[in-house]
Amino acid sequence: MKSAALPTVFIIDDDKGMRQAIEDLVESVGLRAETFASGEEFLSRRHISGPSCLVLDVRLPQMSGLDFQRRLTETGTQIPIIFITAHGDVPMSVRALKSGAVEFLTKPFRDQDLLDAIQQALQHDRAAQEQQAEIHDLRERYHTLTAREREVMALVVSGMLNKQIASEIGASEATVKIHRGNAMRKMQAASVVDLVRMADKLKLPPGK
Amino acid sequence: MANEDVQRTLEELSRNLQESTAWLEEAQRVAHLGYWVWDLETNHLIWSDETYRIFGLTPQEGLIDLDKVREMIHPDDRDAVFRTAGEAVRSGARADCEHRLFRPNGEMRIVHSLGDLKKDSSGRPYQMFGTTQDITDRKRAEEALQRMSGSFQESNARLEEAQRIAHVGHWDWNLETGSLAWSDETYRIYGMAPQERPIDIAMLREMIHPEDRESMFRKAEESLLSGGPADAEHRIVRPNGEVRTVHSRADARRDASGRPYEMFGTVQDVTEGKRAEQALRRSQFYLSEGERLAHVGSWASTNLGINWGDDLGLYWSDELYRIFGLDPKNGAPGLEQCLAYVHPQDRAFIAEKVKAMHEEHCICDVTHRIVRPDGEMRYIRVVSNPVVEQGAFKGYIGTTIDVTEQELLTRELRRERAYLAEAQSLAHIGSWATNFDTGQIFHLSDEVFRLHGFDPAQGPIPLERFYDTLHLEDKQAVVAALEGAVRARKDYDISDFRIRRSDGTIRFLRTIGHHNRSGEIGEYVGITMDVTERKRAEEERERLRQLEADLAHINRVNMMGELAAALAHEIRQPIAASITSANACLRWLARDPPDLERARAAAARIEQDGNRAADVINRLRSFYKKGTPPEPGIVDLKDIIREMTALLRKEAVRHSIKIHSELDEDMPNVLADRVQLQQVFMNLMLNAIEAMKDTGGKLTISSRRTPESQIMVSIEDTGVGLPAENTERIFDAFHTTKPQGTGMGLAITRSIVEAHGGRVWATANSGAGATFHFTLPAKGGVRA
């Protein structure tokens, strides 16, 4: 958990009145809020850090909310989205939710529904960020491994014994042991089970 | 004594006799008079000496007898002489005759002979005594005198005649006596009858024109002093007051000492000559000036020449040289040279003409071109007549007129007329000039005939026939307007009235008449034009405008369904905002301690949003006007496409867009609501124009039948094309790519097409732009 930044709620709505109302509501519960009139404005201004979520109006000029959502996914920006719309229909909300929206609220909405959705989204984002940070950490550790050590690690994770590994890579059992020890140490794995979990998180391909 | 006395007396007598005889002889000789004695008994002749001499003989040379005498008398006089002699013997009267004779040397003499008869006591004649006198010299002198006197009189008469004819008179002024002598003609010149009364210097002075009087007498004095002749032209005033111009010449006669004693001279009436001279000079001037001004040259030929190189004996006036651009110093050109100056394109024709003139002596009147030495082209007209004297051809005289300006003007005029006629025909405007009072037509262009459905070739048409073509419904109004204007002598402009041509077609005309104040009373000039196309275009424009208005209305009505949703969104937005703000406000108040500042701000926003909602509702009112339920009918899509093309043409042109249609001519009709289909076309075509408005391009409307016997219409543009993603979403309501778009156009289009059982979709073009397609079920068998 490197980041302890204050959670932020980003609000994108072309209607200024709506934008200010939501901002005020969010702030009344002690959260930080930032408002944008369009998706483009958000993309050009915002560098996300810390747990955050997006309150997004479906109908926006130029790029609609749904298009914007797809755009974020494509660029690998993961941020929980709460859709709000004044003209919601079922197919639209289904599509939005399928695409990973946290909530789909129809204006006017109950304030508690929005705040709950925001809390849930922030929670979700915080978890995701933590996971993101752990994976980032693991990846850095993994990068310190030599090619031989990575090869041995993959075979270990696949459940092979030292003897089998030695025959697989054409090395002595003693050498395998040294590589295995190095990998465990560099990855800071407490046990083989721990190492398997790490490999899983790193989505490493299983060795033969 | 007595005897002595007698003897003495006899002697004295004898002496006296001898003396007398000598004197007689002498007298005869001096007077060329001889005597003779003719013895009638013996026929003997006794001649005196002088008689011998007269006959050219030596005195007493030989005996003379009658035969000899007869021989010597001129043969023409011979009989007359003897007849006279015989007569005298018979009658006893004196013989008297003049006759000619020939001397032996052949010389002819004229003699006068007298003869007296001597009778005896019984009264019987026995002797004739006579004289013969040579009168040749006297006769000749007489004849000469007579001749001289005759010729003098004749020449005097001739002089008088000549003076009269030449109006020349003469005069003498005796300086010593001061008397003045005038010839008959001088009297006439001065306006008097010949020798009417004596003239003196004082009278003459009076008759000279006062202005010339002094100078004239001064000249006379100078002449007398200097000795030279005087010469003056001056005016005289005749007794009847007539003024004449005369030319007087004078000189003086002087005696041995050089003192002048007489002045003489001539006076000539030069009034006519003066006038004639002036007139001639003037007419020559006028002629040459006239030729120069009129560019008319004149010429004469004595012979047209058989050989082309011949010198034609041509006379050319100065102007003719100028017309040909030649120098008169070089003389008139020959025929061949003349032909060389003829324009090449006219040369053969002119050569033919000249040949015909030569052979047939025909009159010539041709206009052709010449090329001057300096290269300038001129048009000339040559008119000439053959000169025939007593049946013999003598040559040609002619004029050559430079008609370049006229010819060019004529051609220009002809061209202008052709252009005007063409322009009138193209613009369907005819021109005319007429007198409405008299019904007289001065000018009617062909187009007027055509406008009224008449053939211009059929000739003049009375005004009534034009009135007859007026449409029955318009006739009364048109005639009333026309007659009213003509009565008031005012200009008129009668527009948009109908005529019915003989073939039944109805045309709209406009006629403008202008009262020609400078012409006759009732004279009008004007134009008549066909305004049918304009009229129809106006009607069509009006129809399209109405259609557009209807469509706009229908568009609004049809949008109502979608609008309900749109409005829900519009109102929901401020309401949602105000509810959220209210929630926030409550939360600020619920804090411990309550944040009143934030709560107040939230309450202010609630107010704003509430007002916003109210505004939306106010705007909503304007959408409700009238509603028309759909009316399905048989519709020809081609008609609608044509209408929409016309309607949007202006908008398209504004953005440099061409509208083009490729329609299946056999396209079946559809059963549809015409207005709704118009709306579909308008939405799709407007979208296409919108897509190309910055670039220009081409809008193509095509139609065809699908295998499923549906009609497919495609509207293709070369514009910005479809959005890269969610192509299917463009038909959704509120989905718009345009900053000002409602996102409703395609949604409405889809709902209409689908309501008619069709389908609408869009495809990207292989090149630029997009194509929107829609299908409609065809109504089999129903055709336009």
Those residues whose C-beta lies under 8 Å from the C-beta of residue B77, and which sit 6 or more positions away, are B97, B99, B100, B101
pLDDT average, residue stretch A149-168 = 89
Q: Which candidate, B322, B321, B323, places its Cα nearest to that of B379?
A: B323
Assess contact for B246 and B267: CB atoms under 8 A: yes
Q: What tokens were used for A166?
A: 């030695």
Least confident of A43-52, B236-245, B299-308, B536-545: B299-308
Residue B625 pLDDT grade (very low, low, confident, very high; cuts 50, 70, 90): very low
Query: B612: which chain A residues are within 8 Å (Cβ-Cβ)?
Result: 17
Residue with token string 């030569």: B358
Tell me the torsion sign for CA atoms B54, B60, B62, B64.
positive
Identity at B601, one-letter amino acid code: A
Q: Which residue range(s) make up the domain with B566? A: 537-621
How far the first Cα of chain A sits from its last, in Å, is 34
Inform me whether the pLDDT recorded for B614 exceeds 70. yes
Per-residue model confidence (pLDDT) at position B627: 37
pLDDT at B555: 62
Question: Alpha-carbon Rg of chain A, whole angstroms?
Answer: 23
State the average pLDDT over residues B185-205: 85
Point out the domain boundary residue: B567, B600, B621.
B621
Q: Do A87 and B602 touch (CB under 8 A)?
A: no
Gyration radius from chain B CA atoms: 68
Q: Which of A121, A100, A125 is nearest to A50 (CA)?
A: A125
Report the pLDDT value the prediction gives residue B623, as an integer from 0 to 100. Answer: 42
**A10 Cβ neighbours under 8 A, 6+ residues apart:** A33, A34, A35, A36, A42, A46, A52, A53, A54, A55, A79
Quick one: pLDDT band at residue B423, thresholds 50, 70, 90?
confident
Can you tell me whether residue B644 is helix, strand or coil? helix
Query: Which pLDDT does position B586 carry in this prediction?
Result: 92
pLDDT of residue B647: 79
Query: How confident is the model over B425-448, as pLDDT tens digits?
Result: 888 888 888 888 888 888 888 888
**Comparing B136 with B552, which gets the higher pLDDT?**
B136
- pLDDT value of residue A2: 39
**Rounded distance between C-alpha atoms, residue B485 and residue B494, angstroms:** 10
**Structural contact between residues A142 and A187, judged by C-beta atoms closer than 8 angstroms:** yes
Cis upstream peptide for A108 (omega within 30°): yes
pLDDT value, residue B308: 41
B557 in the same domain as B490: no
Within a domain: residue B83?
yes
Q: How confident is the model at residue B599 (pLDDT cuts 50, 70, 90)?
A: very high
| The pLDDT of residue A3 | 43
pLDDT of residue B503: 87
| pLDDT in the model for residue B628 | 44
**Could you tell me if B702 and B714 are in contact, meaning their C-beta atoms sit under 8 angstroms apart?**
yes
Q: Which of B144-158, B219-233, B293-307, B770-784 has the lowest mean pLDDT?
A: B293-307
Burial B245-269 (b: 16+ CB within 10 A, else e): bbbbbbbbeeeeeeebebbebbbbb
Which sequence spans correspond to the domains of chain A?
8-132, 144-201
Based on the structure, what is the number of domains in chain B? 6
Whether residue B640 sits in one domain with residue B750: yes
Q: Say yes or no to pLDDT of B551 above 80.
A: no
Cis peptide before B386 (omega within 30 of 0): no
Binning chain B into helix, strand and coil, the percentages to the nearest 5 are: 45, 25, 25
**B502 and B603 share a domain?**
no
d(CA B144, CA B133): 20
CA distance A171 to B571: 76
Contact B587/A67, CB-based, under 8 Å? Answer: no
Q: By C-alpha distance, which of A34, A33, A104 is closest to A65?
A: A104
- Spell out which residues of chain A touch residue B576, defining contact as CB-CB under 8 Å: 18, 21, 84, 86, 107-109
Residues of chain B with pLDDT > 70, as a percent, come to 90
Residue-level pLDDT at B594:
92
Of the listed ranges B304-318, B342-356, B766-780, the least confidently predicted one is: B304-318
Q: Taking Cα atoms as reference points, which of B78, B203, B605, B40 lies closest to residue A24?
A: B605
CA distance B626 to B41: 184
Q: At B582, which CATH number?
A: 1.10.287
A30-34, A190-194, B3-7, B138-142, range with the lowest pLDDT: B3-7
Which of residues B112, B134, B156 is at a domain's end?
B134
Amino acid B784: pLDDT: 36
Residue B175 has pLDDT above 90, yes or no: no
Asked whether residue B154 is assigned to any structural domain, the reply reads no
The reply to whether residue A18 touches residue B584, judged by beta carbons under 8 angstroms, is no
In a domain, B158, yes or no: no
Is B669 within a domain?
Answer: yes
Evaluate if residue B164 carries a pLDDT over 60: yes
Average pLDDT score, chain B: 81
Say whether both B108 and B35 belong to one domain: yes
Hey, what CATH topology would domain A144-201 get?
Arc Repressor Mutant, subunit A (1.10.10)
Query: Could you tell me which residues of chain A have a Cβ less than 8 Å from any Cβ in chain B?
Result: 15, 17-18, 20-22, 24-25, 27-29, 59, 61, 64, 67, 70, 84, 86-87, 107-111, 114
Residue of B nearest to A16 (CA): B577
Q: What is the pLDDT of residue B306?
A: 41
Q: Report whether B731 contacts B745 (CB < 8 A).
A: no
Does B141 reside within a domain? no
The number of C-beta contacts closer than 8 angstroms across A and B is 87
| Alpha carbon distance B539, B545 (integer Å) | 10
| Mean pLDDT, residues B363-371 | 90
Choosing among B569, B570, B573, which should be mutated to test the A contact, i.e. which has the most A CBs within 10 A? B573
**In DSSP terms, which residues pair with B395 in a beta bridge?**
B387
User: DSSP character for B328?
Assistant: G
Q: pLDDT band at residue B716, thresholds of 50, 70 and 90?
A: very high
Does B616 contact A at CB distance below 8 Å?
A: no
Q: What dotted CATH number matches A8-132? A: 3.40.50.2300
The pTM for the full model equals 0.33
- On whether residue B514 sits in a domain, the answer given is yes
* Contact assessment for residue A23 and residue A69, using Cβ atoms and an 8 Å cutoff: no
Do both B584 and B643 map to the same domain? no
Paired residues of B441 in beta bridges: B434
How open is the CA angle B408-B413-B415, to the nearest 5 degrees?
95
B18-54 pLDDT, tens digit per residue, is 777 777 777 777 777 888 888 888 888 888 888 888 8
pLDDT band at B270 (very low <50, low <70, confident <90, very high): confident
Residues B771 and B637 reside in one and the same domain: yes
Does the CB of B579 have a partner CB in chain A at under 8 Å?
yes
Examine the domain organization and report whether B661 and B616 are in the same domain. no
For the cut 50, the answer to whether the pLDDT of residue B697 exceeds it is yes
Whether the per-residue pLDDT at B391 is higher than 90: the answer is no
pLDDT at position A53 is: 92
Angle at B757 (CA atoms; ends B753, B761), nearest 5 degrees: 45
pLDDT over 60 at B558, yes or no: no
Q: What is the pLDDT of residue A103?
A: 85
Structure confidence by residue, pLDDT tens digits, A102-128: 888 888 888 899 999 999 999 988 888
Q: Which structure tokens are listed for B332?
A: 């008139």
- Both B650 and B773 in one domain: the answer is yes
With an 8 Å Cβ cutoff, is B608 touching chain A? yes
Single residue among B269, B298, B324 that ends a domain in this structure: B269
Beta bridge partners of B528: B430, B511
Maximum alpha-carbon separation in chain B: 249
Condensed to tens digits (0 to 9), the pLDDT of residues B501-532 reads: 888 888 999 999 998 887 777 888 898 988 88
Torsion of the alpha carbons at A196, A198, A199 and A204, rounded to the nearest 10: 170
How far apart are alpha carbons A191 and B700 in whole angstroms? 73
More confident residue, A184 or B177: A184
Mean pLDDT of B622-649: 70
pLDDT, tens digit, for every residue of B228-246?
A: 788 888 889 998 988 888 8
Q: What is the pLDDT of residues B642-670, one digit of tens each?
A: 888 887 887 788 888 999 888 888 888 88
Same domain, B209 and B308: no
Residues B376 and B293 in one domain: yes
pLDDT of residue B522: 82
CA proximity to A68, closest of A42, A98, A94 = A42
Q: What is the pLDDT of residues B320-365, one digit of tens each?
A: 888 888 888 887 777 778 888 999 999 998 888 888 887 888 888 8
Average of per-residue pLDDT across B284-305: 71
Shared domain for B296 and B360, answered yes or no, is yes
> How far apart, in Å, are the Cα atoms of B306 and each of B310, B312, B341, B354?
7, 9, 19, 11
User: For testing the chain A interface, which of B567, B580, B742 should be mutated: the one with the most A CBs within 10 Å?
Assistant: B580
Distance from CA of B561 to the nearest CA of A (A): 14
Residue B49 lies in a domain: yes
Residues of A with Cβ-Cβ distance to B603 under 8 angstroms = none
For residue B682, is it within any domain? yes
Looking at the predicted structure, is the pLDDT value of residue B629 above 50? no
- pLDDT at res. A60: 79
